[in-house]
């Protein structure tokens, strides 16, 4: 996913659960592409010899743009009273990391592609956790 595309990651339809699930599915599918996962495996394999690769991977701007877009969405939902999100940046980080970690582990770091049923399941479970953590009376 390109950093310029990150701003359009979350579409506000008025339903936070649906919005996060849609964004999560787009994000997880982008993270689990064969090329992305192959680069990730190569980076991990080369870390002992080239530790700067981790900084390059981590600091490329894309991840931060994605987290910023999700954080802005969560902050707006907090402002409206739909959700209670005291730290939108932290919640966005947790959302992305939960999706990424579960997707990477279940796909064996991209060696075994996930089925069309597994991706929505991971996204649903992650979204459900975030929604329960930040529920307001309206969102239950």
Give yes or no for a contact between 110 and 130, defined as CB atoms under 8 angstroms apart. Answer: no
41 exposure class (CB count in 10 Å sphere: 0-12, 13-18, 19+): middle
Q: Is residue 16 part of a domain?
A: no
What count of other Cβ atoms lies within 10 Å of the Cβ of residue 68?
Answer: 17
Q: Is residue 5 part of a domain?
A: no
- Domain span at residue 68 reads 21-139
Q: Is the Cα dihedral 93, 64, 29, 105 positive or negative?
A: negative
Q: Is residue 8 part of a domain?
A: no
Q: Is residue 1 part of a domain?
A: no
pLDDT in tens, 111-133: 788 898 999 999 999 999 999 99
Q: Where are the beta strands (DSSP E) in 7-83?
A: none
Q: Is residue 118 part of a domain?
A: yes
Domain with residue 72: its CATH number is 1.10.357.10
pLDDT in tens, 90-107: 999 999 999 999 998 888
pLDDT of residue 68: 95
Closest to 63 in 3D by CA, of 52, 54, 75, 76 = 54
53 vs 118: which has the higher pLDDT: 118
Q: How many domains does the chain have?
A: 1
Q: Is residue 101 part of a domain?
A: yes
pLDDT of residue 58: 66
Q: Is residue 7 part of a domain?
A: no
pLDDT band at 33; cut points 50, 70, 90: confident
Q: Is residue 4 part of a domain?
A: no
């Amino acid at each position: 996913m390109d950093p310029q595309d990150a701003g359009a990651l979350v579409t506000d339809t008025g339903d936070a659960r649906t919005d996060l699930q849609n964004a999560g599915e787009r994000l997880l599918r982008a993270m689990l592409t064969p090329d992305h996962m192959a680069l990730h495996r190569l980076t991990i394999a080369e870390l002992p010899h080239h530790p700067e690769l981790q900084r390059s991977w981590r600091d490329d701007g894309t991840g931060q743009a994605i987290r910023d877009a999700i954080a802005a969405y969560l902050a707006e939902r907090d402002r409206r009273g739909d959700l209670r999100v005291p730290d939108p940046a932290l919640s966005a980080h947790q959302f992305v990391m939960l999706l990424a970690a579960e997707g990477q582990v279940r796909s064996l770091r991209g060696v075994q592609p996930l089925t069309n049923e597994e991706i929505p399941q991971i996204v649903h479970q992650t979204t459900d956790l975030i929604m329960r953590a930040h529920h307001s009376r309206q969102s239950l």
